[in-house]
A and B are shown apart, each in its own frame.
Chain A
Amino acid sequence: MNNADTQECKEVIVAPLAAGREVLGLAVVICCIFLLAGLRHVQVAPKEDVTAKISYQIKDVRLKNQAPVLYRSLLGAVDSITWTYEAGGNWPEISELQTESLPPFVGDFLPAGLRGFSWEMHQGETWVDYYGSNKEVAQEEKQGADPLENSFILRIIDLRAGKYPYPYIQGAQEDRFTAQIWMNPQIVDYSEGPLVERGWKWVVSGNSAVNGKVRESTGS
């Protein structure tokens, strides 16, 4: 009796099925999910900002301290300068801009930290450069103050004139003029020739109409 019971209740150990197939299936599903997520990311990711990738450019949001104020002020002066140019045929001198009370050429319209800038005008064939440097702040920096962006150039190019300085924007042709703001963290004197080679950075706005295609070749 006991033997019969033992035979009936014999313990049978069933080995589990090999999980290889399930694991493979799961791995495939996970891979698919990642693949779809990657595709979606590529689909919705913002387009690369070509202009900001170029080595000699800097985004305006990276400007420090009061430099954004000066940058903004220079951009605000562009139209007044071009209107004067269109009316008179000549690029206005600094004294003319000061008479017109145009910031940043008149320091009274800027916060105290930016009033040390002195400005010069340099005229090219089809463009004009308004160069400003803040030598007062540079002196303070030597004594341990925070470093600032100390030299700026406002370059305005007449696109109808035909021969442009390097680099310039291609694709902003609906306007007669295009403006560029260049910044140098050091105090550097103005000199002729491409700004790129002398350590100047072209300040571009992430939201700017200036974000056309930068022409890498040709120029003066």
Chain B
Amino acid sequence: MKKMLRPQLMLVFCLVFFSTQAYAQETKCRLNIGASLHPYYSWVKNIVGDEANVTSIIPPGSDPHAYQPVPSDMQKLENLDAVIINGVGHDEFIKPMLKAIENDKLVVIDTSKGLPLIPVFGKHYAFDEKDGKVSYNSHTYIAITGAIQQMQMIARKLGRLCPDQAGVFVKNVRAYSMKLRNMLQSALMRIDMLDLNNLRIATVHDGYSYLFQELGIEVSAVVQPRHGVKPSARQLQDTIKRIKRAKVNVLFGELDYEKKYVDIIYKETGCRLYALSHISNGEYTKEFFEQAMQRNIDAIIAALTEVSRGSNPGDMSGQMQDNMSRQMQNASQQMQNSVQENLKDSVPTMQQKQMNERMNQQVQDTTKQMQKTVQEKLKDSIPTMQQKQMNERMNQQLRDTKAQMQGAMQEGLKETMPEMQQQQMKGRMNQQVQDMQKGVLDNVAPGAPQQQGKGQ
């Protein structure tokens, strides 16, 4: 009798267990969270993992400063439980949307609340001691320490909305904070090794004060007073004066900043030019923030390294050159490895020749195409004097890389391989050539998407 009961008991137990699990799944809190800017999307994705749905309010590629909401955006907001906003002027488009929306349960998480803010650069915009009016810099997300504080606040508020997930959110935010802190620590260590007694920097756009502050770097001048505000002739003249007076030797800009201003400043002051990302344009991904921040940090360190070395101010952009060189070498190395791996097996001798020729042709075509595209990009971003030097060096680098690639291929093709593998290899090589080309273009516009809007 007992033996008969045992399987039945087991069955009942299993049924109870699985139904409880299913019920728990059904009742599990699952938030719908909206993000007004790219960094917030990345942060929230890292905080909630797969435990909530995260959506961007505006489509990728849109400029948050000039964005005009459409009805579908309102529909998005209607379905959200929480929305993450900047709160100090970087996502003004969302304010009328929040006013108009009929969603009483929507929780607005203002990331600037409780965050120490930096006044906008310059005497015209800084706080006035008497009336206490302060105009704050809205780029609170282009920083690591600030990002961590904001993420902690977001995690706390989301935890309140969804108490059963609060522990997961806290755990995730602590892990992600550690990752970001390590990035900062690594940057500070690299900066420590440099002699920066002569460093004086200016930025085209007042968007990086938080980042520079935590790196212990002072910004001496800002060219563009505010988003989309082009400097007047007088402001430009003042800026040039300030750059000269402060002996600024590095200018951090954005590639979409109008070339004529950069040219004027470069011509008048001889500053080196480096590009930083504004982290508010491109695809929405979990990794977007950390990748963009890493690129910015790399660009800053490249600039500081060059100042530390005391190289000629008229020299070409070191950051671009270094990054391009590094990425081209990486791509070349990957390609060689791929070729050698695929060539472990054999192909008929005749096919070897044909393949070799085709690959050589492909490398030559790609090289030409890369040169052409890079030159076109450079026309809009780098002062003319720098372009010539850069072109020469780039040509030399491309020649070297090409020679390396061809050599590796010929070496690898001494052996043979089956026809199927040839096809696979060809596909992979095409992909890698494309990656290589993309890498070079990314370097020319580090962190900046191809069709970034102006005035960021």
User: Do A and B actually bind?
Assistant: yes
Which partner residue on chain A sits nearest B153 by CB separation? A79
Which partner residue on chain B sits nearest A172 by CB separation? B114
How many Å lie between the Cα of A208 and that of B189 in the bound state?
A: 32
Interface status of A76 (Cβ within 8 A of chain B): yes
Q: Which residues of chain B come closer than 8 Å to A76, judged between CB atoms?
A: 145-146, 148-149, 152
The residues in B between 146 and 186 inclusive whose CB is less than 8 angstroms from any CB of A are: 146, 148-149, 152-153, 155-156, 170, 174, 177-178, 181, 184-185
How many Å lie between the Cα of A52 and that of B188 in the bound state?
A: 33
Interface status of A103 (Cβ within 8 A of chain B): yes
Interface status of B134 (Cβ within 8 A of chain A): yes
Q: Please choose the segment from B115-123, B293-301, B351-359 that sits at the chain A interface, where 4 or more of its residues have CB less than 8 A away.
A: B115-123
Interface status of A209 (Cβ within 8 A of chain B): yes
Q: Is the CB of A111 within 8 A of B152?
A: no
| Set B131, B134, B216: member contacting A112, Cβ < 8 A | B216
How many Å lie between the Cα of A76 and that of B119 in the bound state?
A: 19
Q: Is the CB of B152 within 8 A of A79?
A: yes
How many Å lie between the Cα of A83 and that of B152 in the bound state?
A: 10
Q: Is the CB of B189 within 8 A of A60?
A: no
How many Å lie between the Cα of A101 and that of B153 in the bound state?
A: 19
Number of A-B contacts (CB under 8 A): 97
Q: Is the CB of A209 within 8 A of B113?
A: yes
Question: Secondary structure at chain B's binding surface: helix, strand, loop or mixed?
Answer: helix
Which partner residue on chain B sits nearest A76 by CB separation? B149
Q: Is the CB of A72 within 8 A of B116?
A: yes
How many Å lie between the Cα of A78 and that of B115 in the bound state?
A: 12
Q: Is the CB of A108 within 8 A of B216?
A: no
Which partner residue on chain B sits nearest A45 by CB separation? B131
Q: Which residues of chain A come closer than 8 Å to B149, judged between CB atoms?
A: 72, 75-76, 79
Which partner residue on chain B sits nearest A49 by CB separation? B132
Q: Provided the pairs A72-B149, A103-B145, A205-B115 are in contact, do residues A111 and B178 lie with their beta carbons within 8 angstroms?
A: no
Q: Is the CB of A103 within 8 A of B181?
A: yes
How many Å lie between the Cα of A69 and that of B114 in the bound state?
A: 15
Q: Provided the pairs A79-B156, A109-B184 are in contact, do residues A69 and B113 lie with their beta carbons within 8 angstroms?
A: no
How many Å lie between the Cα of A38 and that of B156 in the bound state?
A: 44
The residues in A between 48 and 62 inclusive whose CB is less than 8 angstroms from any CB of B are: 48-49, 52, 60-61
Q: Provided the pairs A61-B127, A101-B181, A208-B113 are in contact, do residues A110 and B188 lie with their beta carbons within 8 angstroms?
A: yes
Q: Is the CB of A111 within 8 A of B215?
A: yes
Interface string of A74-87 (1 = CB under 8 A from B): 01101110010000
Interface status of A46 (Cβ within 8 A of chain B): yes
Interface status of B214 (Cβ within 8 A of chain A): yes
Q: How many residues of A contact B (CB 8 A)?
A: 35
How many Å lie between the Cα of A48 and that of B117 in the bound state?
A: 19
| Set B115, B145, B156, B174: member contacting A73, Cβ < 8 A | B145
How many Å lie between the Cα of A83 and that of B115 in the bound state?
A: 19
| Set B136, B184, B191, B216: member contacting A66, Cβ < 8 A | B216
How many Å lie between the Cα of A206 and that of B189 in the bound state?
A: 32
Interface status of A71 (Cβ within 8 A of chain B): yes
Q: Provided the pairs A76-B145, A76-B152, A109-B188 are in contact, do residues A207 and B132 lie with their beta carbons within 8 angstroms?
A: no
Interface status of A68 (Cβ within 8 A of chain B): yes
Q: Provided the pairs A68-B213, A73-B145 are in contact, do residues A60 and B152 lie with their beta carbons within 8 angstroms?
A: no
Closest chain A CB from B358 CB (angstroms): 52
Interface status of A113 (Cβ within 8 A of chain B): yes
How many Å lie between the Cα of A111 and that of B216 in the bound state?
A: 5
How many Å lie between the Cα of A206 and that of B115 in the bound state?
A: 9
Interface status of B26 (Cβ within 8 A of chain A): no
Q: Is the CB of B156 within 8 A of A205?
A: no
Which partner residue on chain B sits nearest A110 by CB separation? B188
Q: Which residues of chain B come closer than 8 Å to A48, judged between CB atoms?
A: 132
Q: Provided the pairs A83-B170, A112-B192 are in contact, do residues A61 and B119 lie with their beta carbons within 8 angstroms?
A: yes
Interface status of B277 (Cβ within 8 A of chain A): no
| Set B116, B181, B185: member contacting A68, Cβ < 8 A | B116
Q: Is the CB of B213 within 8 A of A209?
A: no
Q: Which residues of chain A come closer than 8 Å to B113, judged between CB atoms?
A: 207-209
Q: Provided the pairs A72-B116, A111-B188, A113-B216 are in contact, do residues A207 and B136 lie with their beta carbons within 8 angstroms?
A: yes
Q: Which residues of chain B come closer than 8 Å to A94, judged between CB atoms?
A: none
Q: Is the CB of A108 within 8 A of B189?
A: yes
Which partner residue on chain A sits nearest B113 by CB separation? A209
Interface status of B88 (Cβ within 8 A of chain A): yes
Q: Which residues of chain A come closer than 8 Å to B178, judged between CB atoms?
A: 101
| Set B116, B127, B133: member contacting A205, Cβ < 8 A | B116
| Centre residue among B116, B189, B216 by max chain A CB count within 10 A | B116
How many Å lie between the Cα of A206 and that of B113 in the bound state?
A: 10
Q: Is the CB of A69 within 8 A of B133?
A: no
How many Å lie between the Cα of A189 and that of B385 in the bound state?
A: 57
How many Å lie between the Cα of A151 and that of B191 in the bound state?
A: 25
Q: Is the CB of A68 within 8 A of B188?
A: no
Closest chain B CB from A25 CB (angstroms): 34
Q: Which residues of chain B come closer than 8 Å to A187, judged between CB atoms?
A: none
Q: Provided the pairs A60-B116, A75-B116, A103-B145 are in contact, do residues A46 and B189 lie with their beta carbons within 8 angstroms?
A: no
Which partner residue on chain B sits nearest A211 by CB separation? B114
Q: Which residues of chain A come closer than 8 Å to B112, judged between CB atoms?
A: 207
Q: Which residues of chain B come closer than 8 Å to A103, judged between CB atoms?
A: 145, 181
Q: Provided the pairs A46-B133, A79-B152 are in contact, do residues A108 and B185 lie with their beta carbons within 8 angstroms?
A: yes
| Centre residue among A52, A68, A72, A110 by max chain B CB count within 10 A | A72
Q: Provided the pairs A108-B189, A205-B116 are in contact, do residues A80 and B145 lie with their beta carbons within 8 angstroms?
A: no
Which partner residue on chain A sits nearest B112 by CB separation? A207
Closest chain B CB from A119 CB (angstroms): 17
Q: Which residues of chain B come closer than 8 Å to A66, judged between CB atoms?
A: 216
Q: Is the CB of B114 within 8 A of A205?
A: yes
Q: Which residues of chain B come closer than 8 Å to A75, judged between CB atoms?
A: 114-116, 149
A-B contact pairs, 11 of them (CB 8 A): A45-B131, A60-B117, A68-B116, A72-B214, A76-B148, A78-B152, A112-B188, A206-B134, A206-B136, A207-B114, A207-B136
* A-B contacts besides A69-B216, A108-B185, A108-B189, 10 pairs, CB < 8 Å: A45-B131, A46-B132, A48-B132, A61-B117, A75-B114, A76-B148, A80-B152, A111-B216, A112-B216, A207-B114
